[in-house]
Structure 1
């Protein structure tokens, strides 16, 4: 519940006043919001970081302009700006987006019992954060996001600081951030991410069997220079627009990469039919072939995961590109997903599942 002396949350979920800024001449600069659609871009795989902070967030050191430059340097197609509990930078991104960079408006909601991301908010929209797991108010906040057409993402479930550990049930959330780059020191993968991935992986089989599973995504949670895009999410989308990207994430048509150097293709075929990540393959009782093509992880290991856990693994060649094939049937599992690790054990990429019937 709101603490004594704090303003009560706005029922509509919108900030009463979107901040403006003043230039050196003293003139007030009106907010300029980024476009929701980049024209001329069709079906493709798009790389993006959905958890990004500027100087306005505690611990942030980069300006919006510096973040835009860093996104382009990391070869990202989109980012989501997710300041802590504010929309104050929404109006700073209009001039920084472009035909090569989509900026999705969002917020990191930092509650007393965990953090979550609201992606695809309206300009200036602020989602309430003043509650904990005992207050029973999180559904009200999630409803605000869903009414705006946005996504709710459970953030860094095992973050190593007070209130960072996610204590809410995943029910009602659209996705889970299983890979968060901020708290990994010099390495993009750590024990907290390992725990988040294991937790998500254990629930996947039951969720799929009940017809409602939550995709995994990965983000940098960038606060400092050099963090943006490590890792990021690669989304199959009908275009480079907020609605299309969020639809791809919601459907699970995505995988996570440690950097743009890593490229991956995963498909499942049976009887002349084919399905990709986040899709369903009807096998009609025939054995299905999983095909993985990977670049950027020499001498790495590909592991295949089903409802029986990690059941098969193969090593990649010591040069840049490698291809692995493996067979299974719908009687063996309702899904298959893969993880790709460097020889050190560091994660290089992981995918959402392909479903089998």
Structure 2
């Protein structure tokens, strides 16, 4: 049962979940923004089961993203205690799926179109007018309508890691292809002044999938608006599970920037520092606008600090990937911009 502050956030009689969790200030919050229940075809879990699974996976928030319906929005009000539930929808157009996150209660986004209909812009604008976020979902999904044909420039964020289609491991060749595609475009986007952050979600349909992977977001508070603002700004990284912890900073002189931020350093050398926990015998690689620039191993116990030096002349940005010894992804970050 929700506490008094949570009921006040949504109105005592509202069936919808609160938009804000009281008493949760600035911090890093873990969340899965692509989740399906029995309200979606293929979904086998009820909202109650999903909320329990989310808490067990160490999540602070989830987004309800049923296929082309808002019917589940009102089902979450009684299952949101201690868990922020962002209202959303998976919009399954004929030439790609996208996530509408942070839409109004009961809002339904039209999906009955394809690339040649020139209709997606109007739907994207409606989501943004509601304060929401538009995410390209599983761009290389292995079925015809799941492949995202629209230009990434139309959306706000790209789901580079989707857990549903990864078989026994939460990482596969389709995710690898999306990450490479997003990474290649990042240099041009940073140069152009507007880059699109990456995020990762489970695309849960079945038991045991939720939170694998998920996005870790720096937000001013645990609220829908603050979490979406953090994702929109790229102040986030992607984790395979809650067992993995990561921090990334770049410092020059007495100035330091974190993930999603910009560090103005001129000609000064910059120190990139990565702190990783939970990836035994893994590797950390540093990626810039010139591709993979550096790589170092992690110790066998899984916790380690790796440092690397660069400059704005050498690197327009720095992002990292952390992989298990077998090569599949454990965590990856959005960039820190250098200028």
TM-score interval, normalised by the smaller of the two chains: over 0.9
The whole-number CA distance in structure 2 between the counterparts of 1:96 and 1:326 is 45
The whole-number CA distance in structure 2 between the counterparts of 1:94 and 1:214 is 32
Mapped pair 1:349 → 2:334 = no
Mapped pair 1:236 → 2:218 = yes
Question: Where do 1:307-326 residues align within 5 Å?
Answer: 307-326=289-308
* Structure 2: unaligned runs, 5 residues or longer: 1-12
Q: Are the counterparts in 2 of residues 31 and 92 from structure 1 also a CA contact under 8 Å?
A: no
Q: Are the counterparts in 2 of residues 181 and 230 from structure 1 also a CA contact under 8 Å?
A: yes
Question: RMSD of the alignment, in Å?
Answer: 0.8
Q: Are the counterparts in 1 of residues 45 and 207 from structure 2 also a CA contact under 8 Å?
A: yes
- Which structure shows the higher helix fraction? 2
String of CA shifts for 1:235-276, please: whole Å, max 9, x gaps: 000000000000000000000000000000000000110000
Mapped pair 1:57 → 2:55 = no
Tell me the secondary structure at the aligned position of residue 207 of structure 1: helix
Mapped pair 1:261 → 2:243 = yes
String of CA shifts for 1:154-174, please: whole Å, max 9, x gaps: 000000012000000112311
Tell me the secondary structure at the aligned position of residue 33 of structure 2: strand
Partner residue of 2:72 out of 89, 92, 98? 89
1:32 aligns with 15
The whole-number CA distance in structure 1 between the counterparts of 2:110 and 2:204 is 22
Partner residue of 2:187 out of 201, 205, 211? 205
Partner residue of 1:184 out of 162, 166, 172? 166
The whole-number CA distance in structure 1 between the counterparts of 2:283 and 2:153 is 33
String of CA shifts for 1:285-326, please: whole Å, max 9, x gaps: 110000000000011000000000001100001113110000
Q: Are the counterparts in 1 of residues 70 and 106 from structure 2 also a CA contact under 8 Å?
A: yes
The whole-number CA distance in structure 2 between the counterparts of 1:206 and 1:323 is 30
Deviation at 1:193, TM superposition (A): 0.1
Tell me the secondary structure at the aligned position of residue 153 of structure 2: coil
Deviation at 1:45, TM superposition (A): 0.2
Higher alpha-carbon Rg: 1
Tell me the secondary structure at the aligned position of residue 152 of structure 2: coil
The whole-number CA distance in structure 1 between the counterparts of 2:64 and 2:24 is 21
Q: What TM-score, normalized to structure 2?
A: 0.96
1:16 aligns with none
The whole-number CA distance in structure 2 between the counterparts of 1:96 and 1:273 is 43
Q: After TM superposition, which residue ranges in structure 1, 4 or more long, deviate above 3 angstroms?
A: none
Q: Are the counterparts in 1 of residues 282 and 302 from structure 2 also a CA contact under 8 Å?
A: no
Question: Where do 1:113-262 residues align within 5 Å?
Answer: 113-262=95-244
Q: Are the counterparts in 1 of residues 277 and 302 from structure 2 also a CA contact under 8 Å?
A: yes
Deviation at 1:333, TM superposition (A): 1.3
Q: Are the counterparts in 2 of residues 47 and 76 from structure 1 also a CA contact under 8 Å?
A: yes
Question: Where do 1:263-342 residues align within 5 Å?
Answer: 263-342=245-324
Q: Are the counterparts in 2 of residues 235 and 255 from structure 1 also a CA contact under 8 Å?
A: yes
Q: Are the counterparts in 1 of residues 213 and 238 from structure 2 also a CA contact under 8 Å?
A: yes
2:31 aligns with 48
Q: Are the counterparts in 1 of residues 280 and 301 from structure 2 also a CA contact under 8 Å?
A: yes
2:86 aligns with 104
Q: What TM-score, normalized to structure 1?
A: 0.91
Deviation at 1:31, TM superposition (A): 6.4
Deviation at 1:56, TM superposition (A): 1.3
The whole-number CA distance in structure 1 between the counterparts of 2:130 and 2:102 is 7
Tell me the secondary structure at the aligned position of residue 300 of structure 2: coil
Tell me the secondary structure at the aligned position of residue 70 of structure 1: helix
Aligned length: 327
* Structure 1: unaligned runs, 5 residues or longer: 1-29
The whole-number CA distance in structure 2 between the counterparts of 1:253 and 1:172 is 20
The whole-number CA distance in structure 1 between the counterparts of 2:302 and 2:294 is 22
